[in-house]
Amino acid sequence: MLRGKTALVTGSTSGIGLGIARALAAQGANIVVNGFGDADTIANIERELQAHGVATMYHGADLSRPPQTEDLVRAAESRFGRVDVLVNNAGIQHVAPIEDFPVERWDAVIAVNLSSAFHTIRMALPKMKQANWGRIINIASVHGLVASVQKVAYVAAKHGLVGLTKVVALETATTGITCNAICPGWVLTPLVQKQIDARAARDNLGADEARRALLGEKQPSLEFVTPEQIGALAVFLCSPAADQIRGAAYNVDGGWTAQ
């Protein structure tokens, strides 16, 4: 379905971003990989994606730095002509009550989880408009829709990302470009494993118990969402069936926000 098209997936060296990159490559899209990781891991990811008969490139932009973010989009365009599918997925978390929240962590979470999407979108849109086709998919979170304690920067950034999604959807409404957000609940990735480890240490729990406690608090299905499920939704949003899905914030959360 996406043969000949190019997808840039930020933060695709791990977790959800890697799941989305795999799903888009399986549909034939060339993939621009971004995110941190050692050279061997990144080479393995590129090889695995290329097995779908697609071309890949890696760019290690640190998305907390706007000039590097601009360079990421420019490099993708100079290699592949344009970015057809832009997935803003890179994100970080920091957990602390607001009065103890380090100012530097606030700035970092806002920069990576929110501002980087502003920069990639403003950079990639002109070429999408020339082609009159594009898909922008922002990986927000249930925390783009509801809040939790101790996540002030993350919740603010993700609510902001849902707002940004709606503005871009309106500004592109008469074009072949759509912009939507996906709002996952708990997905078992390194980002969440850190929170499980912290809970295990705090409450003196085993790994399984800490995992069950984390799910039990928020996610009624008591099961993790998987990167593959998020990847499949991203593929759907790229399909013609999704041409009129604009400015949506799709929760994929095991019932979290139904409560």
**92 vs 131 by CB, closer to ligand NAD:** 92
Query: Please, which residue, 2 or 87, has the CB nearer to ligand NAD?
Result: 87
Q: How far apart (Å, rounded) are the C-alpha atoms in residues 22 and 90?
A: 16
Residue (68 or 175) nearer to ligand NAD, CB: 68
Tell me if 62 contacts ligand NAD by CB under 6 A.
yes
**Does 134 interact with ligand NAD (rule: CB under 6 A)?**
no
Give the angle 6-11-15 at the CA atoms, nearest 5°.
110
Shortest CB 134 distance to ligand NAD, Å:
20
Task: Give CA–CA dist 135/177, Å, rounded.
Answer: 6
Q: Among residues 64, 115, 120, 165, which is the contact residue for ligand NAD, using CB under 6 A?
A: 64
Nearest residue to 1 via CA among 91, 84, 92 = 84
Does 35 engage in binding with ligand NAD (CB under 6 A)? yes
Q: Does 89 bind ligand NAD (CB under 6 A)?
A: yes
Q: Does 40 bind ligand NAD (CB under 6 A)?
A: no
State the minimum distance, in angstroms, from the CB of residue 146 to ligand NAD.
12
Report if residue 16 touches ligand NAD, rule: CB under 6 A. Answer: yes
- Is 169 near ligand NAD (CB under 6 A)? no
Q: Which is nearer to ligand NAD, 175 or 229 (CB)?
A: 229
Torsion angle defined by CA atoms of residues 251, 246, 237 and 159, in that order, rounded to the nearest 10 degrees: -40
Q: Is 250 a catalytic residue?
A: no
Binding to ligand NAD by residue 17, rule CB under 6 A? yes
Query: Which range of residues in 21-29, 184-192, 202-210, 239-247 is near ligand NAD by CB under 6 A?
Result: 184-192
Burial 98-132 (b: 16+ CB within 10 A, else e): eeebeeebbeebbbbbbbbbbbbbebbbebbeeee
Residue 59's CB is within 10 A of a number of other CB atoms, namely 19
Q: How many whole angstroms separate alpha carbon 161 and alpha carbon 124?
A: 17
Reduced to 3 states (helix: H, G, I; strand: E, B; else coil), residue 98 is helix
Question: Nearest to residue 134, comparing CAs of 161, 79, 172, 162?
Answer: 172
**Interacting residues toward ligand NAD by CB under 6 A:** 11, 13-17, 34-36, 62-64, 89-92, 112-113, 139, 141, 184, 186-187, 189-192
By annotation, the residues acting in catalysis are: 154
